[in-house]
Structure 1
């Protein structure tokens, strides 16, 4: 699978580290329970079809990005920098 890094262009997926679904960016509040934190860290959905996942370009530019891909066909539909998505 090749992932289109917004800064480096298309790269082999082995250059990236997968962090999980886009929900990874939404941390539980400081007032949440320990169960909320446990669920966020260890209980992940594994949907079939189009997903939006957080990836880190570990062996490249060091960018954090959200990659839209199809988990059934392995087709990568696009990517965007997390910083742009968050408005930073």
Structure 2
């Protein structure tokens, strides 16, 4: 599974803005693409959580939904799938 598919699977599973039940399946694609572009800068789970947080806060201006605490479980799952195959 490539990085885009891994990130998409986890972001869509979390559906942080509860969009997917009434919008197209590609609703989070711009955010997912940006996270994938920034993956090389995420050298730890904590840094990946920050990347996810920053991407979603910049795109949606909804910091409470995308707090680091809320982004960490997504980052952990992505990190494990990418690094442990």
* TM-score normalized by the length of structure 1: 0.29
Higher strand residue share: 1
